[in-house]
Amino acid sequence: MMKHLRLNRHLTERLGFVGLTLMALVTVAPIVAVVIYILAQGVPAISWEFLTGLPRDGMRAGGILPAIVGTFYLTIGTAIFSVPLGIAAAIYLSEYAPENSLTRLIRIAIINLAGIPSVVYGLFGMGLFVLFLKFGTSILAASLTLSIMTLPVIISTAEEALRAVPQSFRTVSISLGGTRWQGIQRIVLPQALPGILTGVILGLERAAGETAPILFTGAAFFLPRLPNSPFDATMALPYHLFVISTQVPEMPPQIQYGTALVLMAFVLGMNLIATTIRSRARARRQW
Amino acid sequence: MEKTLNWREFVITRLVRASGYSAIVFVALIFFFLLREGLPTFAEVPLSTLFSLRWYPIEDYFGILPLITGSIMVTLGATLVAVPFGIGTAIYISEIAPRWMREILKPMVELLGGLPSVVLGFLGILILSPFLRTFLDLPTGLTAFTGSLLLGGIAVPTVVSIAEDALDSVPRSYREGAWALGATRWQTIWRVTLPAASSGVLTAVMLGVGRTIGETMTVMMVTGNAPVLAITPGSLFSPVRTMTATIAAEMGEVANGSVHYHTLFFIGMVLFIISLIVNVAASSVVFRSKKRAERVLS
Amino acid sequence: MTDKIVIEALSLTYSDGVESLRNISMGVRENAVTVLFGPAGGGKSTLLRCLNRLNDLTEIRASAGRILIDGENILDPKTDVIALRRKVGMVFARPVVLPMSIRQNLTYGLELAGEKRKSRLDEAVERSLKLAAIWDEIKDRLDDPAIALSGGQQQRVCLARVLALQPEIILLDEPTSGLDPISTGKVEAALLELKKEYTVILVPHSVQQAARAADFAAFFLQGELVEYGEGKSIFTMPKEKRTEDYVTGRFG
């Protein structure tokens, strides 16, 4: 009787573990499949002309340079606004903020910023930057919109990195006659830098891949030249992929897959850089 | 010397604090602009029209019910995909997988989180929907079901990472206690670890759902965008149109300040409020359980 | 001999309601080692942290009394705490070397104060390392990361780091609690040298260490100063029953 029960228990456990393993595999397998498939289909499309040329024949031929450059500009523009602001906010939360209801409100606000649908950011960016501040549909307006969307990612990862720096470093710095800021500037920030950098890149990675927030704030359907000021609209890789896969009839699949590959490489490349920085810093850490 | 130091310290402290407060300012600004452009809808569109079954803006039909049901249908479907697979994967990673497997799986899941949703939408159009159309013998492959599958995939990384965090933070001593009492690892997972992590897992589910409601590009590309009321189980396999897709698809073509424009902002306002509720609820679960843990520990 | 520090009716309650110091009054002699000892939670560390205002970092509900250093009340809100902390250095229980080279650890405090001249910095490095009795051991690897040193060496580097600022008072909070007996001996030997020039206040990690090091000793029990006097007399013929019980090992 006992023995029977035990056997049964172990059988359940065995079956359960197999089931969970299968679930994990079913979750991960499509990711691998997607990446490999896009690689396989997209690589033949990649050529010098594709990467450096302007689109021709209603985007059915030629290259995607304006979209590549546009995404690059948007990412840089997003970084300019969101990185300093996000890091400063993280410093406030980790180093200065008292435990009170105002701080709790800030935290709730950050959680909410992280949860607002991307298309709502698009509406907001259009209302504030495009129309109210009259920036027009432009790189500037789109970058600002993406910055606010990226902010919560940067703040929360940077705060985590700052908090991971041992409290004792701050105490020692103060006991040696340092001000709070001197300790942050000379010890805490340098030590947290790899973690902060990882968060920044992950945040910007999201911004680079987003379409909805730039739909009405800065993305151009078709613009066969490079933007030459922050007040120009621009093509962008994710929007371009959307356009050529839904809006243009008789699109050669090669160009679609090529564009998808370039976008994926751009985004996953950033992801790879971020994870490399993180694992290296962990191995090298002095505490 | 001392003077300049103090002055610098003063300025920096103020700047840093202002940056911290900016998060509140941004949420307020977003809400303000949505209200400013969305509230006029109430004056321009009669409530009976707004809550009717027909969305056909060209002829002044602004019924948002089909859009709401479309969003709910797709979200429900995605939740049914993301929750079991997300939590299952999280349990596998945190409780069962050998170390090397964990090192492979975690970055993979993160990778999925980083894939742009247009790429998934693109593959949905080219591969998934033709496959589903022939496999399920449907008139079109662009359905709520297709959207649910892809959206589930988008929500999975969120669910996995938060649920895994929660499982990971269950003290090892809990598990050891259960093993010492003769429980198998399987029993320990279900009777000890998972219940102990329940608030974190709940947060994972809620944030995953939040992520799904707000997803835009993928749904717009693969759900067929037909604004019909979706309340029967059968409508899971027919085209629907979500709130997010409606905004994304139509905002580019409306005149600023028109009724249609205001209605789209009104929909944005509804989305904002939904995400506000979901996130405040999710974070209050976290806060409350943290407080409980603090009480237990002190 | 004069009192360098005069503590007058000092009381302190932490914000979680714990009363840490109750009406403490004592004078601390210049150029001597004053030991604050007693069981854990007696208020010794809290008192130390008052002396360089490190308690400013902790949430405090209420405090009363005065601490006079060279006749000035340092608890006065107008006190320049930065200058105070340079004058009153502190070594912590666990050696905390900053994540940088040994040399940078030593010059850190001076650089915060704005000292940029390399000659001055080098001079301070050598002088303070010699004072902390570690110069000979590490003079050839000053640019190595400080974390690579042994625990005992790290703690002496921490002491040297304080000395580099040329303080007048040195506070040591169980500085040898994590060290082996040999390293402990080296740190204690350094202390004996130091008291010639500095006012040293030590929270020891054992009664034995207290007895070895003390010129003066103060016994703290649950926030109260039970007995205070010359080291020799307290450890051989304490006046208070409670002191005697503790010193002879009946509790604690």
Residue C127 has pLDDT above 90, yes or no: yes
Q: Which amino acid is at A138?
A: S
Nearest to A111 among B93, B112, B279 (CB): B279
Say whether residue A12 is in contact with chain B using an 8 A CB cutoff: yes
Which CATH number characterizes residue A159's domain?
A: 1.10.3720.10
Q: What is the largest CA-CA distance in chain A?
A: 82
CB < 8 Å to B108, chain A: 28, 31-32
Residue B167 has pLDDT above 70, yes or no: yes
Domain presence at residue A149 = yes
Long-range (24+ apart) CB contacts under 8 A made by B10-16 are: B12/A181, B13/A96, B13/A180, B13/A181, B15/A88, B16/A88, B16/A89, B16/A91, B16/A92, B16/A95, B16/A96
Say whether residue A172 is in contact with chain C using an 8 A CB cutoff: yes
CA–CA separation, B60 and A54 (whole Å): 41
Q: Which residues of B touch C (CB under 8 A)?
A: 1-2, 5
**Beta carbons within 10 angstroms of residue A245's beta carbon:** 24
Nearest to B244 among A112, A119, A152 (CB): A119
CA–CA separation, C133 and C149 (whole Å): 15
Average pLDDT, chain B: 88
pLDDT of residue A221: 87
Reported ipTM: 0.90
Domain presence at residue B32 = no
Domain presence at residue B18 = no
Match 């008291």 to its residue by tokens: C195
Domain presence at residue B255 = yes
pLDDT of residue A5: 59
C151-164: pLDDT as tens digits:
889 999 999 999 99
What is the domain range of residue A94? 64-239
Query: For residues B260 and B41, is the Cβ–Cβ distance under 8 A?
Result: no
Match 């003079």 to its residue by tokens: C139
Residue A229: exposure state from Cβ atoms within 10 A (0-12, 13-18, ≥19): exposed
C236-245: pLDDT as tens digits:
888 889 998 9
**Beta carbons within 10 angstroms of residue A143's beta carbon:** 29
Nearest-5° Cα angle at C127, C125 to C133: 100
- Chain C: partners with 3+ C-beta pairs within 8 Å: A, B
What lies within 8 Å, CB to CB, of A124 at 6+ separation is A145, A148, B29, B30, B33, B34, B268
- The confidence band for A77, taking pLDDT boundaries of 50, 70 and 90, is very high
Domain presence at residue A40 = no
Which CATH number characterizes residue B274's domain?
A: 1.10.3720.10
- The confidence band for A119, taking pLDDT boundaries of 50, 70 and 90, is very high
Phi, psi of C190 (to 5 degrees): -60, -40
When scoring B4, B12, B19, B251 by the number of chain A Cβ atoms within 10 A, the one with the most, hence best to mutate, is B19
Domain presence at residue B30 = no
pLDDT of residue B296: 44
C109 and A178 within 8 Å at the Cβ level: the answer is yes
Residue A2 has pLDDT above 60, yes or no: no
Domain presence at residue B59 = yes
Match 């479907």 to its residue by tokens: B77
pLDDT of residue B246: 94
Helices assigned H by DSSP within chain C = 44-51, 81-87, 102-112, 118-131, 135-138, 151-163, 181-194, 207-213, 231-236, 241-247
CA distance to partner chain A, nearest, from residue B59 (Å): 23
Q: Which helix (H) or strand (E) holds A271?
A: helix A253-284
Domain presence at residue A229 = yes
Q: Which domains does chain C have, with CATH numbers?
A: 3-247 (3.40.50.300)
Phi, psi of B76 (to 5 degrees): -60, -50
Residue A285 has pLDDT above 70, yes or no: yes
CA–CA separation, A71 and A50 (whole Å): 16
CA distances from C118 to A177, C104, C111, C114, C194 (A): 20, 12, 10, 12, 25
Residue A76 has pLDDT above 90, yes or no: yes
Residue B3: exposure state from Cβ atoms within 10 A (0-12, 13-18, ≥19): exposed
Terminus-to-terminus CA distance in chain B, angstroms? 45
Tell me which chain A residue has its CA closest to the CA of residue C145: A286
CA–CA separation, C227 and A193 (whole Å): 50
Average pLDDT over every residue of C117-125: 94
A242 and B17 within 8 Å at the Cβ level: the answer is no
Nearest-5° Cα angle at B271, B270 to B277: 90
- The confidence band for B146, taking pLDDT boundaries of 50, 70 and 90, is very high
- The confidence band for A278, taking pLDDT boundaries of 50, 70 and 90, is confident
Domain presence at residue B150 = yes
Domain presence at residue B233 = yes
Say whether residue A274 is in contact with chain B using an 8 A CB cutoff: no
Average pLDDT over every residue of B219-225: 91
Tell me which chain C residue has its CA closest to the CA of residue B298: C16
CB < 8 Å to C80, chain B: 2
Domain presence at residue A246 = no
- The confidence band for C3, taking pLDDT boundaries of 50, 70 and 90, is confident
Residue B4 has pLDDT above 70, yes or no: no
Domain presence at residue A47 = no
Residue C178 has pLDDT above 90, yes or no: no
CA–CA separation, A205 and A153 (whole Å): 11
Domain presence at residue A36 = no
A140-186: pLDDT as tens digits:
999 999 999 999 999 999 999 999 999 999 999 999 999 999 999 99
SS3 C172: strand
B267-295: pLDDT as tens digits:
999 999 999 998 888 877 765 665 554 44
Domain presence at residue B27 = no
- For A145, half-sphere exposure in the C-beta direction (CA atoms, 13 angstrom radius) is 37
B118 and A12 within 8 Å at the Cβ level: the answer is no
What is the domain range of residue B177? 39-297
Which residue did the predictor score with more confidence, B292 or A197?
A197
DSSP state, residue C101: B
A134-147: pLDDT as tens digits:
999 999 999 999 99
**Beta carbons within 10 angstroms of residue B12's beta carbon:** 17
C80-104: pLDDT as tens digits:
999 999 999 999 988 999 999 999 9
pLDDT of residue B290: 56
% of chain A exceeding 90 in pLDDT: 70
% of chain B exceeding 70 in pLDDT: 94
Residue B298 has pLDDT above 60, yes or no: no
CA–CA separation, A5 and A7 (whole Å): 5
Query: For residues C159 and C168, is the Cβ–Cβ distance under 8 A?
Result: no
Average pLDDT, chain A: 91
C49-73: pLDDT as tens digits:
999 999 888 877 778 899 999 989 9
CA distance to partner chain C, nearest, from residue B2 (Å): 8
How many domains does chain B contain in total? 1
Between helices A189-209 and A237-246, what is the axis angle to 10°?
A: 20
SS3 B31: helix
B1 and C114 within 8 Å at the Cβ level: the answer is yes
Average pLDDT over every residue of B46-57: 87
CA–CA separation, B165 and B161 (whole Å): 6
Match 């040898």 to its residue by tokens: C176
Domain presence at residue A48 = no
Q: How many residues belong to chain C? A: 252
